[in-house]
C-alpha cells in the first residue's frame, strides 16, 4: 500500500475539516496548532518518528509485552516509577501504559479521568519534566510509553468549565449548556446511561451557571462539544502537546461518545469517525512515530469500524474487549463455543486491525457478549448475565471466584463484574482455604487457572498487556470500602497498591508469586522466540472436538503451532492428527501412534503450546 504524502494528508485533513465545520478561519487556526507542535518536537523524538516510518512493526512486534499501572500505586510518584524501571525490565515489559496522571481534582477525579489541566501533571505524582525524564529513561531501555488522553469531557474544574460557570458565553459554547431541562429531557429519551447506579442521568444542574450541562459520565465530567471547531482545535493541541512529551502511544479514552446529536443514542455516530481520522492525520503530520490506541467498549460489531479503512486509518490499536469478556464467560461456562465463534471473526480481520489483548484492566468487565449467537443454545441475555455475575462474585454454589458487582442496576439486570485476575481465578478463595487447613487443592487449581488464562492471552495476535500486580497474583483490595471518595465505585477493588514486599517472594521457590512470575516469564520468552507468534502469522481456530478445550493454530512459514487450553477444572482428552509435536513450554515430546493420531491428556485448566515437528523433534 502506497503511503500518503504530507501534501495528500493535509488535503484530506482540510477536506474532512471543511465537510464537518465549513469554517476557513477555524481551519487556519488548526493549521497553526499543527505547525507549532511540529516545530516544538524534539530531535530525539523526530529520530523515533523517522525510524518508525517504515511501518507498524514497532508496535506489532510479537516481542512486545505491556503492563498498565497507576503511578500512585506503583511507588507513588513518576520519579519512583523511574527508579522501579529495573523491576519492569525484569518482568520483560517493553510497553508501559501509565494510567491517567494529569491534574484532576481529588474526590472528583474518576481515577484521573476528569482532567482539569491537560498540560499539567497532578502535583502529588510529579511534574511534566518528571514525565519527560521518565519517557527518556524508558526509551533508553527500549520501553514504549502510553498515556491516556481523556477527550470526551473535562473536569468541572478545567479552566473552560470555570469560565463557563462564571458566565463566559464562549466557554459555555465548548460544552452542552441549556437554560432549561427541555432539550436535556429530549436527549434523555434516547441516550442510555453509562453508570446507571453510581451516576444516573446524562445532565446536571449547575448552581453557579443556573443552567443545565451535559455530563454523560459523572456529574463533574462535562461533555465537550466537538461541533464547536475550537474544541477540536484546542483538544488536538493538547494531544500533540502530550505526544511531544515523549509518549509513544496515546490512548483515546471513551471515543464512541465524542459526538452528540439529539434523537440518537449519542454513541458511534459517523462524525466520531471523521474526528478520529482527523486526529490520526494530525499525528501523522506532526509525530508520525506515535500510535493511537482506541478505547471502544462497545458491542462487537461497533468496534472494528474504529480501525478505519486500511488506507485511511483511524485507530492503530484497539482494546480487544470482546475477546476479553468472552474469555471470562468461557471460564464460567466451561464451554468454548462462543470463544471459537468470536475468534473466527478476529482471525479473519484485515492486517491493519491490531489489538491490545488483556485479561483485566482498571475497569469492570461488562458482559458485551454475542447474545444472538448464545440464543441458539437457549441462553438469554439477562439470566446469563446474572449467572456470570453470580459466578464471579462467589454467589453461585461452589464458585471459587471472588469479585464484586459494579453498577448493579437491578431494573436493567445489567450489572458488571470487578476483581483482580487472581481473585477471579480462585486464588483468593484458595489462600483462605489453605489458611483454614483445608489443604492446597483449591490454591493449586487457582494457580493453574490463572496461568492458563495468561497463556491463552499470550497466544493471540496483538500486544499482551498485563495488569500490574497480576504477575505476582495480587488479590482484591477491599480497603476502598472505608474511603468515602471511592466506596461507591467497586472498580477500586482491583486498583490496590502494588505490594513490593510481596513481589520479593518471586525469589522464593514454590510460592505462588514465584510460580506466577516465572510462569509469565516463560510465556513471554517463548512468545518472543518463535516466529509462529509473529503478527503476520496465519491464525485459525483449531477445533478439538471437546467443547471444554479451546484451540488456536498459528502458522508462519515452516512453523505450525497448536495452542490448546482446557477451560474446565476437570481433566479432558484431545485427539490430535499429525506425526510428532513438541510442547515448547514444557519441552515434552509427543509422537502419534500408527494411525496418525495421538491422545493428549489435559489436567483441569491444563494448556500446551505444541509445535508440529515435520521430521522428528529437534
Give residues in contact with ligand GLC (CB under 6 A): 110-111, 113, 150, 217, 253-254, 295, 362-363
- Nearest-approach distance from CB 253 to ligand GLC, in angstroms: 5
61 touches 265 (CB < 8 A):
no
Cβ closer to ligand GLC: 253 or 450?
A: 253
Residue nearest to ligand GLC (CB): 113
Minimum distance from residue 322 beta carbon to ligand GLC (Å) = 16
Give the cell for residue 567: 477451560
Report whether 538 contacts 554 (CB < 8 A).
Answer: yes
* Min dist. Cβ of residue 379 to ligand GLC (A): 27
Cβ proximity to ligand GLC: between 491 and 524 the closer is 491
Taking the complex as a whole, how short is the minimal distance between the CB of residue 327 and ligand GLC, in angstroms? 19
Query: Which cell is 311 given?
Result: 488506507
How many of the other CB atoms lie within 10 Å of CB of 80? Answer: 15
The distance of closest approach from Cβ of residue 579 to ligand GLC in the complex, given in angstroms and rounded to an integer, is 47
Q: What's the CA gap between 406 and 348, in Å, rounded?
A: 33
Backbone angles phi, psi at 335, to 5 degrees: -135, 115
Q: Which is nearer to ligand GLC, 467 or 605 (CB)?
A: 467
**Residue showing cell 496515546:** 250
Q: Which is nearer to ligand GLC, 188 or 363 (CB)?
A: 363
CB 73 within 8 Å of CB 495: yes
Q: Residue 291: which H helix or E strand, with range?
A: strand 291-294
| Buried-state track 188-217, b at ≥16 Cβ within 10 A, e below 16 | eeebebbbbbbbeebbbebeebebbbbbbb
Shorter beta-carbon distance to ligand GLC: residue 73 or 526: 73
Between 109 and 401, name the residue whose CB sits nearer to ligand GLC: 109
Distance between CA 476 and CA 315 in Å, rounded? 32
Please tell me the distance from the alpha carbon of residue 436 to that of residue 49, in angstroms, as a whole number: 56
Minimal distance in Å, beta carbon 466 to ligand GLC? 17
* Least CB distance to ligand GLC at residue 482 (A): 21
Cα separation, 366 vs 192, in Å, equals 15
User: Which of 295, 404, 450, 471 is an active site residue?
Assistant: 295
- Report the alpha-carbon distance of residue 54 to residue 219 in Å, rounded: 44
- Calpha distance 321→357 (Å, rounded): 8
Strand (E) or helix (H) holding 552: strand 549-556
Q: Which long-range contacts (CB under 8 A, 24 or more apart) does 188-195 make?
A: 190/262, 190/263, 190/264, 190/265, 190/266, 191/216, 191/264, 191/265, 191/266, 192/265, 192/267, 194/257, 195/407
- By beta-carbon proximity to ligand GLC, the closer residue of 110 and 130 is 110
CB of 178 to ligand GLC, least distance (A): 22
Give 434: exposed, middle or buried? Use CB within 10 Å, 0-12, 13-18, 19+.
middle
26 to 23, 168, 259: CA distances (angstroms): 5, 20, 18
Residue 401, CB half-sphere, CA atoms under 13 Å: how many?
A: 29
Q: Which of 234, 237, 253, 489 is flagged as catalytic?
A: 253
Q: Is 253 a catalytic residue?
A: yes
Residue (280 or 494) nearer to ligand GLC, CB = 494
Using the minimum distance from each CB to ligand GLC, give the nearer residue, 217 or 222: 217
Contact (CB, 8 A) for 89 and 70:
no
User: Do 555 and 603 touch, CB atoms closer than 8 A?
Assistant: no
Query: H or E segment at 120?
Result: strand 117-121
Residues with active-site annotation: 253, 295
Amino acid at each position: 500500500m502506497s503511503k500518503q504524502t504530507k501534501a495528500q494528508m493535509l488535503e484530506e485533513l482540510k477536506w474532512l475539516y471543511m465537510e464537518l465545520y465549513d469554517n476557513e478561519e477555524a481551519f487556519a487556526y488548526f493549521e497553526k496548532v499543527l505547525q507549532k507542535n511540529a516545530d516544538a518536537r524534539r530531535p530525539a523524538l523526530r529520530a523515533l518518528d523517522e525510524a518508525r516510518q517504515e511501518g507498524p512493526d514497532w508496535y506489532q512486534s510479537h516481542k512486545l509485552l505491556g503492563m498498565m499501572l497507576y503511578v500512585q500505586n506503583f511507588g507513588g510518584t513518576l520519579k519512583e516509577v523511574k527508579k522501579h524501571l529495573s523491576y519492569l525490565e525484569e518482568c520483560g515489559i517493553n510497553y508501559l501504559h501509565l494510567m491517567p496522571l494529569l491534574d484532576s481534582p481529588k474526590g472528583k477525579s474518576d481515577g484521573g479521568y476528569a482532567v482539569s489541566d491537560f498540560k499539567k501533571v497532578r502535583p502529588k505524582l510529579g511534574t511534566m519534566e518528571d514525565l519527560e525524564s521518565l519517557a527518556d529513561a524508558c526509551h533508553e531501555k527500549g520501553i514504549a510509553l502510553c498515556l491516556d488522553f481523556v477527550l470526551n469531557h473535562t473536569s468541572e474544574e478545567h479552566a473552560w468549565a470555570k469560565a463557563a460557570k462564571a458566565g463566559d458565553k464562549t466557554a459555555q459554547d465548548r460544552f452542552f449548556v441549556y437554560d432549561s431541562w427541555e432539550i436535556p429531557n429530549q436527549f434523555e429519551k434516547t441516550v442510555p446511561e453509562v453508570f446507571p447506579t453510581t451516576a444516573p442521568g446524562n445532565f446536571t444542574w449547575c448552581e453557579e451557571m443556573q443552567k443545565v450541562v451535559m455530563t454523560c459520565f459523572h456529574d463533574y465530567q462535562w461533555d465537550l462539544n466537538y461541533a464547536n471547531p475550537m474544541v477540536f482545535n484546542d483538544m488536538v493541541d493538547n494531544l500533540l502537546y502530550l505526544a511531544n512529551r515523549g509518549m509513544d502511544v496515546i490512548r483515546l479514552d471513551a471515543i464512541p461518545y465524542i459526538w452528540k446529536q439529539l434523537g440518537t443514542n449519542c454513541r458511534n455516530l459517523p462524525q466520531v469517525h471523521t474526528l478520529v481520522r482527523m486526529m490520526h492525520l494530525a499525528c501523522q503530520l506532526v509525530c508520525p512515530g506515535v500510535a493511537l490506541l482506541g478505547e471502544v467498549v462497545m458491542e462487537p460489531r461497533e468496534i472494528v469500524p474504529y480501525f478505519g479503512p486500511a488506507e485511511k486509518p483511524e485507530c492503530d490499536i484497539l482494546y480487544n474487549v470482546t475477546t476479553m469478556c468472552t474469555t471470562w464467560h468461557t471460564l464460567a461456562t466451561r464451554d468454548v463455543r462462543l470463544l471459537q465463534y468470536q475468534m473466527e471473526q478476529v482471525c479473519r480481520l484485515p492486517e491493519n486491525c491490531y489489538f491490545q489483548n488483556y485479561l483485566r484492566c482498571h475497569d469492570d468487565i461488562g458482559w458485551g457478549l454475542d447474545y444472538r449467537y448464545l440464543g441458539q443454545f437457549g441462553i438469554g441475555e439477562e439470566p446469563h448475565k446474572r449467572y456470570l455475575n453470580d459466578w464471579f462474585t462467589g454467589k453461585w454454589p461452589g464458585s471459587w471466584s471472588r469479585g464484586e458487582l459494579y453498577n448493579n442496576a437491578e431494573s436493567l439486570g445489567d450489572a458488571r463484574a470487578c476483581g483482580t485476575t487472581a481473585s477471579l481465578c480462585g486464588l483468593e478463595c484458595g489462600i483462605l482455604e489453605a489458611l483454614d487447613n483445608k489443604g492446597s487443592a483449591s490454591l493449586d487449581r487457582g494457580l493453574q487457572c490463572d496461568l492458563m488464562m495468561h497463556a491463552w492471552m499470550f497466544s493471540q495476535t496483538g500486544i499482551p498487556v498485563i495488569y500490574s500486580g497480576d504477575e505476582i497474583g495480587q488479590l482484591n483490595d477491599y480497603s476502598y470500602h472505608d474511603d468515602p471518595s471511592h466506596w461507591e465505585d467497586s472498580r477500586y477493588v482491583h486498583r490496590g497498591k502494588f505490594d513490593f514486599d510481596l513481589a520479593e517472594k518471586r525469589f522464593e521457590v514454590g510460592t505462588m508469586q514465584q510460580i506466577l512470575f516465572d510462569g509469565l516469564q516463560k510465556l513471554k520468552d517463548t512468545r518472543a522466540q518463535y516466529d509462529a507468534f509473529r503478527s503476520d502469522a496465519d491464525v485459525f481456530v483449531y477445533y478439538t472436538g471437546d467443547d471444554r478445550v479451546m484451540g488456536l493454530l498459528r502458522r508462519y512459514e515452516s512453523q505450525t503451532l497448536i495452542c490448546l487450553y482446557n477451560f474446565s477444572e476437570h481433566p479432558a482428552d484431545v485427539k490430535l492428527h499429525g506425526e510428532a509435536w513438541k510442547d515448547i513450554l514444557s519441552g515434552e515430546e509427543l509422537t502419534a501412534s500408527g494411525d496418525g493420531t495421538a491422545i493428549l491428556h489435559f489436567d483441569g485448566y491444563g494448556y500446551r503450546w505444541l509445535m508440529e515437528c515435520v521430521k522428528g523433534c529437534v
